[in-house]
Structure 1
Amino acid sequence: MKRKIILIASIIAVVLLSYGFQFFDNYENSIYDTFYQKPQETNDNIVIIAIDDATINALGQWPFDRSIHAELIDFISQGNPAAIGVDLMFDSYSNEASDHELARAIEDAGNVVLAKEIKYTPKINGYKQGSDTVISPIDEFLGVSNQGHINTFLDEDRVVRKINMFAKRFVLETESYEEEPNFAYELLKLYGQNADLDDVTQQNIDRVLQKYNHDTEDLYIDYKGIPRKYDSIPYFLIYSEGFPASYFEDKIVLIGPYANGLQDEYVTPVVKEQPMFGIEIHANILQNLMEDSFKRPVLSIVNVLMIIFMGILAYFLSNKLTPAKGLILNVLVVIGYLILCYQAYRKGFILKVFYPILAMMIMYVSALAYHYLEQLYEKKKIRNIFGRYVAPQVVDKILEDSDNINLGGERRYISVLFVDIRGFTPLSEKAEPEQIVEILNSYLELCEQSIFKNDGTLDKFIGDATMAIYNAPLELEDHALRAVKTAWDMKLGAQKLKQELFDRYGKIVDFGIGVNTGYAVVGNIGSKKRMDYTAIGDTVNTSARLEANAKAGQILISESTYEHVKDQIVATALGGIKVKGKETLIQIYQVEGIVGDDRKTNGS
C-alpha cells in the first residue's frame, strides 16, 4: 500500500510541477483553440472601414494625408454612427493644416476613439528598471477624442488569445501602477451614450461597463468572427458617389489596416492558417464586451485540485480492472471532464484541459505497469515457493491460474504420500560417505520424478524419507489415484536401483510407502524468517504411520484412499492395524497393481 501511495503522489507531483512551470502550455493552448473556438454569428452593429490594397491603389501612397481621414470622418458622421474607432497611431505630427483639419473633424463628430499603445519595460531580476511608456496621439487630438489601448497578448506560440480590459502600466517616479482603458471599452461607452437603444439593451451595456470597469485580470477572447467575417467596406468606396451615409446610423464604425503590406496581422485561435487583421481582433473584443462573453481562467487551486482528483481517480479505475475495462472507464471519465470544461466555458470560466487528462494518462499507464510488475513479482514469488515442490509444467499451470492459488493456510481435502528407504542404515555402515550420498540421491531423484510425473507436490525430504501431497496447490479431481500411481512408479523404478546396489554391496534397499486421503491444513507454515509450503493434520500423521508400518517394497493405503481408487487398482485387504495416536483400528490395503498398467514387478 505504501508503494502505491508513493507512486500516486509522485505522478501527481510531476504533473503539478509541469503545470506550475507551464511545460505543456502549447498543448493546452492547442486543445483550447480546437475545443472552444468555433465561428459564431457576428454583430451587424459593428462595421469595418478597411484600408485595403484596393484603397491604397486608389488613393495613393500610404500613409494617407490626414485631411483624407478628416473627410472620411465627416462623411461617416453624417449618418449618425454611435461611435467611430480609428485603429491608427497618430503619435507624431504631419503637416499643420492636415493635423488641424483632422482634429476639427474629430471634434465635430464628438464620438471618436483613437488608439494608444503601452510599451512595457521588461523586468530584470523581478524588478522594473523604468516606467512603462504610453504612445498616445499628439496633443492636438487628445483633447477632442477618447483614447483606448490596443494592446493584446501574444502567447508563446504567437497566437492572440487574451487582453486586459484595463491595462496596468508601471510609473517609476511614483512606484505605482496606472490603468489605461481598452480601445473597445471606450467605444462601448460611446455606443451606450449615443445609440438609440431599448431599455433592456441599455441596461445590459451599463451593467457590462460597470462589471469591467478597472478590471485588470486576463480575459480570454471568445472569437465570434473568422478572418474577413465582419461587414467591411473598402475605405475608398466611402468616397464613391451614391454611398449612403445612413448606413452607419447607430453603428460602431472601426477604421483600420486591412492590407497585408501594412503589417497589422496576427494569428488567432479560430483559423490559424489565415492571420486576422488587428481591426478584426478589436471587432471581436468589442462584440465580446457587448455580449459579456469574455472567459476567465479559474483560480490555480481549482486546476490543482482537478489534477489531483483526476490522477487519483484514474489510478483506482485502472488498478483493480482489466486493462480494457480500465481504458474504457478512463475514456468515459475524460469525455465527462471535457463536457464539464465545455459547460464551465459557457459559464465564462476556463478549466485546464490538458494537465488533468495528462495526469489520467500517466496514471493509467503507470497503474498498468505497476500491476504488471506486481504480477511478475507474484509469479516470481509463486515460482520460488513451488519450484522446489512440483514439476516445472505444474508451476506453469499455477502461474496461469495464480489468482485462484491461496498461499496462506486453508483446509483442503488432499492425498498424502510418505515413502522411506528400508535397509538404508545397514548399507550406510558398509559404504563410504560419498557412496551413501550417491545412493541416497539416486533414490530421492526417483521419488521426485515419480511425484512430478503424477502432478504431485514434493513437500519435503526428511533424511532418507520423502513426503508428497496431491490436490494442493492445484486442484486434482483424481488426486488419490495419482498418489497411488506415484507409489507404484516408485516401486517399479526401485527395481533397477536394487539390483545395482546388490551387485556392488551385497545389500538390498527398498521403499516402504504409505498413502492416506482426508482433510488437512495446507499453506505456508513456519516463522517470519523461514516458512515452507506444507500440510499438517491427522491425515498427514496417518499417512506417516502407514509408511512406518509398510515393509520393504510394500505400498499401504488407508480405507479412505481405497474408496477413491478401488475401481482402478488391484489391492489386497489386510484388515485393521493399530497406529500411534489412534484409538480405533485403521483398515489398510496393500496395492498389488494399477488397472491397465502392464508393468511387472520382480517381487520384494
Structure 2
Amino acid sequence: MTRRYNWTLYLAALGIAVFTWLLVAHGPLRAMENWLSDLRVGLMTARQPPPDDPVIITITEDTLRQFPYRSPLNRVFLAQLITVLSEKGARAIGLDILFDQPTEPAADEALAQVLHHSATPVFVAYADHETLNVQQQAFLEQYTAGMRRGYVNLFLDNADGVARTIFPGRIAPNGQFIPGLAVALAGVTPPPEPLPLRYRGLAPGAPDDQLLSAFKIYPAHLAAMLPTSWLAGRLVLVGADLQETATDVWKTPFSALLGYRKGHLPGVVIHAHAMAQLLQNQPLPVTPPWAVFSLYLVAALLGVAMTRLDWPVWADMGLVIGLISGFGVLTFWWYGQGGALLPLGGPALALLIAVSGAHAIATRQERRQKRFIQGAFARYLHPDWVKQLVADPNLLRLQGERRELTILFTDVANFTTTSEDLPPATLVWVLSHYLEGMTEIIIAHGGAVNKYLGDGIMVLFGAPVMQEDHARRAVRCALALDQFAEKFRTQATDPDGTPVAFGETRIGVHTGEVTIGNFGSHARLEYTAIGDVANAASRLEGLNKHIGTRIAVSDAARVHAEQQETTDLRFQPIGRIVVKGKSEALQVFHPVAANPASITRVNDYAAAYALLDVGDPRAAERFAELQTRYPSDPLVAFHLRRLQAHECDSRIKLTSK
C-alpha cells in the first residue's frame, strides 16, 4: 500500500504528544499510568531485611479484646504502653492515634501526664479541619497543647486514592508549622515539598503477600514481654493494625498487584515506609517533566514514521505491540535496577494514536487517489489495469522494470476474409461473443489482457502482478482457449441463429525477460511489455499455419512450466524452426493435456521424433505407421510430408511468414 506523507504529519505527532501528555498527566487517564507504575513497584521492589528504625507497635484485634469498648483506645493502657517503651530504652515514640474526643477523665489525665513528663520524646498525632469537625478539633488542640505534634495526614493521589507521597507538614490553623508524623519522628528537616514515597521491599524469605514483613512489628499488648534489646535506642511508631475491619487502612502501590485485602496497608505502616526513606536518605528517582514529555514525543514521532514502512495494518499493529511490550519490559527492569518510574501507558497511548491516526489519514488520501484514478484513466485503460492501478497507484510511474514473464498471442485464421463477408452488425455480434469468452478464460487463469488486436489478443502472465508459475498458467490457458475456440468455431451463428464461418484460433506462447511499464504520457498511458519476447510469441502464433497445429510453445516457456512440477501437461517437440529473416533456430513445442487418451499418442510420437531428430532413416517408416494409427494428428502429418520431401531432420526452415 502506497502512502504519501508531508510535514503536517509530524506537526500532528507533536499535537498527539501534547494531547496525550495532558490526558495522562492531568486528565482521566492518570489512574492508568499510576496503575502501571504501581505494578512495577509491586513486582520489582527488591527484598531487603527490615531496618532498625522504625519499630512498629500495633494495636490489633487481640489488643482491643481486653477492653470493654474499642474506640477510643483505652488511654490507661496507652499510658502504660508508653511507659514500657520508655523504660525499654526507646529513643523516641510516635503515636498514630488521634486524641480527638474525651474518655474517662481519670484515664485522659493519666495519659496526659505521661505524654508531658515522659523521659522519651513522644510525638502525638495531629490533624485539622480537613478530617475533624469543630468539636474534635477543639478537643485535640486543648488536649495536645504543649506536646510534640506531627500531622498524621497521608498524601493520597486525587486520581486513585493511593498513598505515593510523603506528607512534609504544613501550617496549622494556629499559624504554627507542624511537620508530618514521619518527618517529626525521623528528626529530619521537613522537605520543601511532598516527596515521592519509596516503599521498601519484603523481608527475604517472606511470602509474596506478607507486606508487613518489611518492618519489625510487635503487638502492643505484648510490649512488656519484648526483650529490651529489641527496643533500646529505636524509634518506635505506635498505631492500629485493624485490616479485618478496614480501620485506618489505605490503598498503596502494592494494591495493583495484590488487591484490596493484601495490598492495602495500615496508616502506621505507611508512615514507617516514609520514615525509613527519610532516615536512610534514599529518595525515589524522579523523571523530570521534560524527559517525560520527550518520551511522549518520541513515541508519537515513531508512530508516524512507522507508517512509512508501507506494511498492512495488522503488521504495523504487531510492531506496535512489540515496541510497547519491549519498552514495558525495559521500564520494569529499569525500576528494578533502582531507576525512576518511567511513564509507560502515556507513551504507549501516544504511539497507538499516532499509528492509528497516520493510517486513517493515509487511507483517506488513498481513497481520494483511487477515485482520481478511476475517473481519469477508466476511459483509456482496460478495466483490469484500472483495478491494478487502484490497488497499487505506484504503477502509474512511467519508469519501467525488467521482468521475466510469459506472453500469449492469439489470432483467428482468415479473419480478414470473414470480416469482409459478414455484415457489420453480424461481425460485431460474433467477434464480441468470441472475445468475451476468450477473456473470461484468460482472467480465470490469472492472465491480464494487454491488448485487443482486432480479432487477436495479447495476454501477459506475470505482470503487473508477480506470478511464480506464469509459464504454466499461460500454457494451461492456451489449452483452455483452444478448447473454447474450437467449440465456438463449429457453433458460431449470427443474431438470427444462422451459422457463420469462423476460422480456427492459433496461439503462440513464449517466456523471457522484457521491459514492462507505462509508456506514453499522463494523458494517455499504455501499460505493456517491450522486447523480443512479444515478437517471438507473435511469430510462434504464426508458425501454426505452416505446421498445421493451433498452439505453439517456445522451449523457454516449456522449461519454465516444467520447473513448477507440472503433471498435467506434456510437450510434443515440433522441431528447431528457423523463421524467415532469422538465422537462429527456435525450439518449438506443442502442448498436450496429459490424460489416458493422449499419453500413448504422445509417447509414440516422442519415439518417432527421436529418430527424426538424429536423422535416422527409420523415422520415415515410423511416421508412416503413426499416420495410419493417428490420421488426424497434425504433427505426424507435417513431419511425414517433410520426410517424403527428403527433409530428414528436425531443423525446419520456413520460407514465408
TM over 0.5: yes
* Partner residue, 1:273: 261
User: Deviation at 1:250?
Assistant: 0.7
Mapped contact 1:164–1:215 kept (Cα < 8 A): no
Say which SS state the counterpart of residue 37 (structure 2) adopts. helix
- CA distance in 2: counterparts of 1:22 and 1:557, whole angstroms: 74
Q: Determine whether 1:440 maps to 2:449.
A: no
* Partner residue, 1:181: 179
* Partner residue, 2:643: none
1:216 maps to which of 179, 193, 204: 193
CA RMSD of aligned residues (A): 5.8
* Partner residue, 1:111: 121
1:249 maps to which of 219, 222, 232: 232
Q: Cα deviations across residues 30-61 of structure 1 (Å, max 9, x unaligned)?
A: 43333313564322443333333444443544
Letter matched to residue 181 of structure 2: F
Mapped contact 1:427–1:507 kept (Cα < 8 A): no
Letter matched to residue 154 of structure 2: T
- CA distance in 2: counterparts of 1:546 and 1:338, whole angstroms: 64
- CA distance in 1: counterparts of 2:246 and 2:327, whole angstroms: 45
Mapped contact 1:265–1:276 kept (Cα < 8 A): yes
- CA distance in 2: counterparts of 1:502 and 1:266, whole angstroms: 91
Give the 3 Å change call, closer, same or farther, for CA 549–507 of structure 1 in structure 2. farther
1:69-468 aligned at under 5 Å gives the runs 69-91=78-100, 102-108=111-117, 109=119, 111-120=121-130, 137-139=140-142, 141-143=144-146, 145-155=147-157, 160-168=162-170, 180-189=178-187, 209=188, 213-224=190-201, 226=210, 228-229=212-213, 230-238=215-223, 248-259=231-242, 263-270=247-254, 272-274=260-262, 275-295=264-284, 297-310=286-299, 313=302, 319=309, 327=318, 331=322, 334-335=325-326, 337-344=328-335, 346-347=337-338, 349-359=340-350, 388=384, 409-412=400-403, 414-415=406-407, 417=409, 419=411, 421-428=415-422, 431=423, 433-445=424-436, 447-448=438-439, 456-468=447-459
Q: Cα deviations across residues 73-110 of structure 1 (Å, max 9, x unaligned)?
A: 34433333211112222356668776665444334326
Mapped contact 1:120–1:169 kept (Cα < 8 A): no
Give the 3 Å change call, closer, same or farther, for CA 169–357 of structure 1 in structure 2. farther
* Partner residue, 1:198: none
Say which SS state the counterpart of residue 350 (structure 1) adopts. coil
Say which SS state the counterpart of residue 523 (structure 1) adopts. strand
Provide TM-score, normalisation by structure 1.
Answer: 0.67
User: Deviation at 1:183?
Assistant: 0.6
- CA distance in 2: counterparts of 1:56 and 1:563, whole angstroms: 98
* Partner residue, 2:54: 46
Letter matched to residue 194 of structure 2: E
Give the 3 Å change call, closer, same or farther, for CA 587–55 of structure 1 in structure 2. closer
User: Deviation at 1:23?
Assistant: 3.3
Mapped contact 2:197–2:283 kept (Cα < 8 A): yes
Paired positions, count: 540
Provide TM-score, normalisation by structure 2.
Answer: 0.62
User: Percent identity among equivalent residues?
Assistant: 21
Query: More displaced, 269-278 or 359-368?
Result: 359-368
Gapped runs of 5+ residues in structure 2?
Answer: 203-209, 560-570, 593-600, 603-629, 638-657
- CA distance in 1: counterparts of 2:461 and 2:270, whole angstroms: 81
Letter matched to residue 305 of structure 1: S
- CA distance in 1: counterparts of 2:290 and 2:449, whole angstroms: 60
Give the 3 Å change call, closer, same or farther, for CA 470–354 of structure 1 in structure 2. closer
Give the 3 Å change call, closer, same or farther, for CA 237–358 of structure 1 in structure 2. same
Q: Cα deviations across residues 355-376 of structure 1 (Å, max 9, x unaligned)?
A: 3345567778999999999999
- CA distance in 1: counterparts of 2:446 and 2:162, whole angstroms: 73
Q: Cα deviations across residues 191-243 of structure 1 (Å, max 9, x unaligned)?
A: xxxxxxxxxxxxxxxxxx35xx33313422414565554444444445x6x76
- CA distance in 2: counterparts of 1:276 and 1:594, whole angstroms: 85
User: Deviation at 1:552?
Assistant: 12
Give the 3 Å change call, closer, same or farther, for CA 527–21 of structure 1 in structure 2. farther
Say which SS state the counterpart of residue 467 (structure 1) adopts. strand
More strand by share: 1
- CA distance in 2: counterparts of 1:64 and 1:449, whole angstroms: 94
Give the 3 Å change call, closer, same or farther, for CA 354–303 of structure 1 in structure 2. same
Say which SS state the counterpart of residue 142 (structure 1) adopts. coil
- CA distance in 1: counterparts of 2:353 and 2:143, whole angstroms: 61
Mapped contact 2:198–2:283 kept (Cα < 8 A): yes
User: Deviation at 1:505?
Assistant: 7.6
Q: Determine whether 1:568 maps to 2:572.
A: yes
Give the 3 Å change call, closer, same or farther, for CA 332–98 of structure 1 in structure 2. same
- CA distance in 1: counterparts of 2:65 and 2:533, whole angstroms: 109
